């Protein structure tokens, strides 16, 4: 049984774990969709059909295409040699999820947005024991948010399609500082 403090801490952890991927994943995903309006139109059409699957599949692809957590850092726990590179205990290594998500050996036409890509074994939420605890919540939030957005703003478009996006954050957590749109 969890103490009140442990329960509170667990709730905070779950909310924070899903928050960054949801907020930054949605804004980056909407940017990708509005840059390729044919994809936005497909989701608008799907929103009227009542089937949630296109949104779940789209969320997976949007998270792969422009991951809100492009890099994660880890510490080497014991001396080892990895493909000819010596790593010492305590060394810091960076796992570039964004690179793995665009690996052409894993994803056909890896640099293209494909909302029906299935399966989609992206690395956005990590893997193994470091898999993101908030992944299911983030996926649900993203699918519901995206579906609501296309229903309520079906003619959404970028305010200035030529403008470069403004990103905030850093290397580990990456998100748009703003996304000017118009209806």
- What pLDDT band is residue 15 in, cutting at 50, 70 and 90? confident
Count CB atoms within 10 A of the CB of residue 181: 15
Please state whether the peptide bond connecting residue 119 to the residue before it is cis, i.e. omega within 30 degrees of 0.
yes
Beta-carbon contacts of 33 under 8 Å, excluding residues fewer than 6 positions away, are 39, 40, 43, 62, 113
Interval 53-69: pLDDT, tens? 999 999 999 999 999 98
Give catalytic residue positions.
17, 20, 22, 132, 141
Domain ranges of the chain: 4-68+112-182
Q: Which residue has the higher pLDDT, 97 or 11?
A: 97
pTM: 0.87
The pLDDT-based confidence of 33 (bands split at 50, 70, 90) is: very high
Q: In degrees, to the nearest 5, what angle opens at C-alpha 99 toward C-alphas 161 and 112?
A: 45
Return the minimum-mean-pLDDT range out of 48-52, 73-77, 83-87, 115-119.
Answer: 48-52
> Tokens standing for 169?
């954050």
Higher per-residue pLDDT: 167 or 61? 61
What's the token pair of residue 54? Answer: 């296109």
What is the three-class DSSP state of 149? helix
CB 78 within 8 A of CB 100: no
Share of the chain above pLDDT 90, in %: 66
Q: Which residue has the tokens 């749109």?
A: 181
Overall fold of domain 4-68+112-182: Cytochrome p450 (1.10.630)
Strand pairing partners for 74?
Answer: 93
Contact 176, 164 (CB under 8 A): no
Q: What is the pLDDT of residues 169-179, one digit of tens each?
A: 666 778 898 99
Element (H, E) at 144: helix 135-152
């Amino acid at each position: 049984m969890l103490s009140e403090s442990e329960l509170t801490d667990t709730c905070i952890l779950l909310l924070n774990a899903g928050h960054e991927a949801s907020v930054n994943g949605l804004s980056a995903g909407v940017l990708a969709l509005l840059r390729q309006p044919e994809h936005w139109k497909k989701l608008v059409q799907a929103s009227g059909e009542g089937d949630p699957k296109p949104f779940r599949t789209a969320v997976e692809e949007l998270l792969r295409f422009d991951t809100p957590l492009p890099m994660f850092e880890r510490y080497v726990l014991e001396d080892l040699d990895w493909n000819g590179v010596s790593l010492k205990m305590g060394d810091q290594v960076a796992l570039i999820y964004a690179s793995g998500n665009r690996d052409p050996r894993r994803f056909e036409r890896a640099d293209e947005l494909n909302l029906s890509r299935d399966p989609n074994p992206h690395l956005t939420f990590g893997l193994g024991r470091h898999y993101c605890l908030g992944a299911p919540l983030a996926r649900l939030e993203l699918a519901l948010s995206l579906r609501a957005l296309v229903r309520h703003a079906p003619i959404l478009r970028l305010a200035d399609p030529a403008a470069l996006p403004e990103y905030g954050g850093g290397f580990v957590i990456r998100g748009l500082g703003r996304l000017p749109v118009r209806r």
